[in-house]
Homo-oligomer: A and B are copies of this chain.
């Protein structure tokens, strides 16, 4: 194994950290699907988004004040966030004058596209000149320690999945928001690139070197006050043939008190792995408890979260009600119903 260094309390803030407020950059994008990072930010953290900037030809409107780089800097923007992904994940040459101007104006640039900002010499030079930062949210911080497995203070909820890409991030965001609306001290904690942009900090856990996976997860939800909830964005699935080790490391490092199983109505197989059936909800619950109890003996499933958009609208409520009856747990759709049923159950059980 690579390293036996362990966490100390002083190291618990060693995550990627972004400076708000953000100027959301959407290039000359015309298709909403390619601007979903920007749209997610405008939806989940409008208070962090001070404006939007399109290049000529762009037609996406996020409903935010329109700014150029200079007016955004004057209005207090701290980071230009690239909220659109060109095909192939590159940074088009047409963006460069705007990005360089942003750096010259003192704004950090934040991106999760495939091309690394820190590997583009023009941007590196401009950032060095102005003292601004280039933040690649797909690149984990250096010197992540090995996981300790030791119990931290505060409470944690982790969203886990039957598969990838079915709402673990949205579920965590909806739960954190619902907690905050009730006055509960809660934070959304990000483990993926879009989540990191929304939270303003986090670690892209799937890009961490294997030996340090649970250590990275420990950094994501550090010690906190006893009644504080960290609501942690899950990744992958314990049953995923490609990604189960990511999910395992995140579970071990998150040491959750509570978890919510996320799934998608009508999905029958692991997406992209047609030889693998989707695991059942009880199978996911059992394995999550089996593994998780080693780092938190009190781990418990507190709800089911379903992306029901794959069902006809008139069937969705009955589908959730049926699941809830079947498993004796609250069942929500984070978009359609919000997370209140889960919060009610969680508070009732305390």
Contacts and interface: CB of A to CB of B under 8 A. Distances in A.
Nearest to A146: B242
Interface residues of A, number: 41
A229 interface: no
A340 to B, nearest CB: 30
A242 B217 CA distance: 10
A107 B142 CA distance: 34
Interface string A241-268: 1111110110010000000000000000
Interface stretch (A30-38, A43-51, A208-216): A208-216
Nearest to A245: B249
Interface stretch (A19-27, A71-79, A287-295, A299-307): A287-295
Interface string A190-224: 00000000000000011111110111000000000
A150 interface: yes
A245 B290 contact: no
A268 to B, nearest CB: 16
Nearest to A149: B241
Contact of A210 (B2, B249, B287, B290): B249
Interface stretch (A54-62, A129-137, A270-278): A270-278
A246 B243 contact: no
A279 to B, nearest CB: 9
Copies in the complex: 2
A294 B270 CA distance: 12
B244 A252 contact: yes
Residue with the highest number of chain B CB atoms closer than 10 Å, among A2, A235, A242, A244: A242
B1 A235 contact: yes
A147 interface: yes
Given A150-B275, A206-B210, A208-B209, A244 B249 contact: yes
A164 interface: yes
A275 B249 CA distance: 18
Given A1-B164, A244-B249, A290-B287, A213 B214 contact: no
A148 interface: yes
Contacts of A248: 244-245, 248
Contact of A148 (B138, B150, B235, B241): B241
Contacts of A346: none
A295 B248 CA distance: 16
A294 B276 contact: yes
Contacts of A311: none
A252 B246 contact: no
Given A242-B146, A294-B241, A4 B209 contact: no
A205 B210 CA distance: 8
Interface of A: 1-2, 4, 138, 146-150, 164, 205-211, 213-215, 235-236, 239, 241-246, 248-249, 252, 272-273, 275-276, 287, 290-291, 294-295
In the A-B complex, the 3 residue pairs with the smallest Cβ-Cβ separation, listed nearest first, are A149-B241, A245-B249, A245-B245
Given A208-B210, A214-B241, 16 more contacts: A1-B235, A1-B246, A4-B272, A146-B243, A205-B210, A206-B209, A207-B209, A210-B213, A210-B249, A211-B246, A213-B245, A214-B243, A241-B294, A241-B295, A245-B248, A248-B248
30 contacts: A1-B164, A1-B243, A2-B138, A2-B206, A146-B242, A147-B242, A148-B241, A148-B242, A206-B209, A206-B210, A207-B209, A208-B210, A210-B210, A210-B213, A210-B245, A210-B246, A211-B242, A211-B243, A214-B241, A215-B242, A239-B294, A241-B294, A244-B249, A244-B252, A244-B291, A245-B245, A245-B249, A245-B252, A248-B248, A276-B294
